[in-house]
């Protein structure tokens, strides 16, 4: 990951110091960067000569202090061990210019705690910049505000991300998993519990997610591809930091068996050899019996929490998931399409199954109560130009006038639940 980030800065014209613990690691990193640049050049997306870009990268063995002299930004991408990260940050703080910002690429650790490794006057300039792997290809960067981060630092991090050609999203609070990993954890959780309860097979779940929900990979294929050990590690780290979840034995058993997926040759699927990914053949019809709304509803619930708490905007939540996970829609866009009331019913089904953590978020309940159900009412998380139902009702009113008003009064007098378009007031 670190060499990919260094490559991005070098492509953008920055002089880069790349520091690691040994010359062997650095030499391999530079080879990887060169190979990546060759591929980018072949696709016609490189404006400069490869050697010109490589000349901007100065490898340094072990000396963090030397590496950060005179820099304007430090991006740390060491192993996901908070004590190691804190040591790196303390050293960088000691030697970097006072105005330099220190960014961590952590995907799971508390940035606020990492910031406490530096002097108090530096803490406002510590920020999270979570790149996605591989950095040269993945367009998303999550910019995370710690408990100390200043608005100026957030703005600088956003600007750096844009200069690298990336799409930044701002996470306003240092919550476990930020945006993308929280959403991903929910779909994985739902998928695993459906299998654990004997309601579906791994293949049926993945088929439903790919062919009914339109995701590029099913939950289990993606876990195999990422590494089930990585999924367990991030999940455990998020759980320890207070992420409310229902740990599922379907995942933990694979970790205990050391069947980590592609890297070991077997996970939820079997592969030709360790490290060799071959996409499993999953027939479309396998997912026919699966209600894919049950799989998506927990992601919507998580997104609603993030929005209600002011952790991220609706646009950034959806953009993060589209760009970070390559979903065709973000969870809030899915919610508007499927219907907020439909999402709430699916979440209530999970609660009835014993997973109380999937209880509908208050924001969703409020939206249902207010008739903001998504596209079908013209407004949900987003507003729409018009709903089909409202348009049909308006046409009928023009055609039948007083008769339709009398029908409206008759239905209303029954006391039955009635939904109206929030803009037109039309019966739905």
Structural contact between residues 103 and 77, judged by C-beta atoms closer than 8 angstroms? no
Transcribe 66-97 into DSSP letters: HHHTT-SEEEE---S-HHHHHHHHHHHHHHS-
pLDDT of amino acid 395: 56
Catalytic residue, candidates 36, 105, 107, 207: 107
* Among 58, 142, 155, CA closest to 312: 142
Active site residue 292: no
Name the token pair of 55. Answer: 């000349």
Tokens 């997610």 found at: 209
* Among 133, 142, 163, 164, CA closest to 4: 133
Structural contact between residues 210 and 218, judged by C-beta atoms closer than 8 angstroms? yes
pLDDT of amino acid 108: 87
pLDDT of amino acid 245: 86
Active site residue 130: yes
> How far apart, in Å, are the Cα atoms of 71 and each of 65, 93, 202?
11, 11, 49
pTM to 2 decimal places: 0.87
Catalytic residue, candidates 108, 146, 181, 387: 181
* Among 143, 7, 15, CA closest to 71: 15
Residue 226 sits at the vertex; the CA angle it makes with 222 and 230, to the nearest 5 degrees, is: 125
Catalytic residue, candidates 7, 76, 142, 333: 142
pLDDT of amino acid 286: 96
pLDDT of amino acid 420: 43
Catalytic residue, candidates 130, 189, 204, 207: 130
> Could you report the per-residue pLDDT of 325-372, keeping only the tens digit for each?
999 999 999 999 999 999 999 999 999 999 888 999 999 999 999 999
Q: What is the DSSP letter of 212?
A: I
Name the token pair of 254. Answer: 């694979």
E strands, 10-163, are 16-20, 57-61, 73-76, 101-104, 126-131, 140-144
Torsion angle of the four alpha carbons 163, 169, 170, 174, in this order, in degrees rounded to the nearest 10: -110
Q: Is 102 helix (H, G, I), strand (E, B) or coil?
A: strand
pLDDT of amino acid 424: 41
> Could you report the per-residue pLDDT of 197-235, keeping only the tens digit for each?
999 999 999 999 999 999 999 999 999 999 999 999 999
Active site residue 181: yes
pLDDT of amino acid 246: 84
pLDDT of amino acid 1: 87
Give helix then strand counts, H and E, for the chain: 19, 7
Q: How many residues does the chain have?
A: 428
CB proximity list for 267: less than 8 A, separation 6 or greater: 220, 223, 224, 228, 254, 259, 260, 261
pLDDT by residue for the chain (428 residues), tens only, comes to 899 999 999 999 999 999 999 999 999 999 999 999 999 999 999 999 999 999 999 999 989 999 999 999 999 999 999 999 999 999 999 999 999 999 999 998 999 999 999 999 999 999 999 999 999 999 999 999 999 999 999 999 999 999 999 999 999 999 999 999 999 999 999 999 999 999 999 999 999 999 999 999 999 999 999 999 999 999 998 988 889 888 899 999 999 999 999 999 999 999 999 999 999 999 999 999 999 999 999 999 999 999 999 999 999 999 999 999 999 999 999 999 999 999 999 999 999 999 888 999 999 999 999 999 999 999 999 999 865 555 554 555 556 555 545 545 544 444 444 444 434 444 44
Q: How far apart are CA 228 and CA 30, in angstroms?
A: 28
Domains and CATH numbers, the chain: 1-171 (3.40.50.720), 179-290 (1.10.1040.10), 293-377 (1.10.1040.10), 386-427 (no CATH)
CB proximity list for 304: less than 8 A, separation 6 or greater: 332, 335, 361, 363, 364
């Amino acid at each position: 990951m670190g060499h990919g980030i260094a490559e991005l800065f070098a492509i953008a014209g920055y002089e880069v110091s790349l520091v690691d613990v040994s010359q062997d690691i650095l030499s391999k990193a530079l080879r990887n960067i060169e190979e990546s640049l060759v591929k980018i050049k072949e696709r016609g997306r490189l404006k400069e000569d490869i050697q010109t870009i490589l000349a901007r990268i100065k490898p340094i063995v072990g000396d963090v202090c030397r590496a950060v002299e005179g820099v304007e930004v430090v991006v740390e991408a060491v192993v996901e061990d908070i004590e190691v990260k804190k040591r790196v940050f303390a050293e960088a703080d000691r030697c970097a210019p006072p105005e330099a910002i220190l960014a961590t690429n952590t995907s799971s650790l508390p940035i606020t705690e990492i910031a406490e490794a530096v002097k108090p006057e530096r803490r406002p300039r510590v920020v999270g910049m979570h790149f996605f792997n591989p950095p040269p290809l993945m367009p998303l960067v999550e910019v995370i505000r710690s408990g100390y981060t200043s608005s100026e630092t957030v703005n600088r991090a956003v600007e750096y991300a844009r200069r690298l050609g990336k799409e930044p999203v701002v996470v306003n609070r240092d919550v476990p998993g930020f945006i993308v990993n929280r959403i991903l954890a929910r779909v994985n959780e739902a998928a695993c519990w459906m299998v654990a309860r004997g309601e579906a097979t791994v293949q049926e779940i993945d088929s439903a997610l790919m062919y009914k929900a339109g995701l590029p990979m099913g939950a289990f294929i993606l876990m195999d591809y990422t590494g089930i050990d990585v999924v367990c590690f991030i999940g455990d780290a998020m759980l320890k930091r207070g992420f409310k979840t229902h740990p599922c034995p379907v995942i933990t058993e694979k970790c205990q068996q050391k069947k980590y997926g592609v890297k070991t040759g077997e996970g939820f699927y079997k592969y030709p050899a360790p490290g060799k990914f071959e996409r499993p053949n999953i027939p479309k019809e396998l997912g026919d019996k699966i209600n894919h709304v049950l799989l998506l509803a927990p992601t919507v619930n998580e997104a609603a929490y993030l929005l209600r708490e002011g952790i991220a905007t609706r646009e950034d939540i959806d953009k993060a998931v589209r760009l970070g996970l390559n979903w065709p829609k973000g969870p809030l866009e899915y919610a508007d399409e499927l219907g907020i009331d439909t999402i709430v019913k699916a979440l209530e089904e999970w609660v009835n199954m014993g997973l109380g953590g999937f209880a509908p978020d208050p924001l969703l309940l409020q939206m249902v109560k207010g008739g903001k159900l998504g596209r079908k009412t013209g407004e949900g998380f987003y507003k729409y130009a018009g709903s089909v139902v409202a348009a049909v009702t308006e046409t009928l009113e023009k055609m039948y006038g007083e008769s339709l008003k009398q029908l409206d009064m008759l239905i209303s007098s029954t006391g039955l639940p009635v939904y109206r378009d929030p803009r037109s007031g039309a019966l739905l």
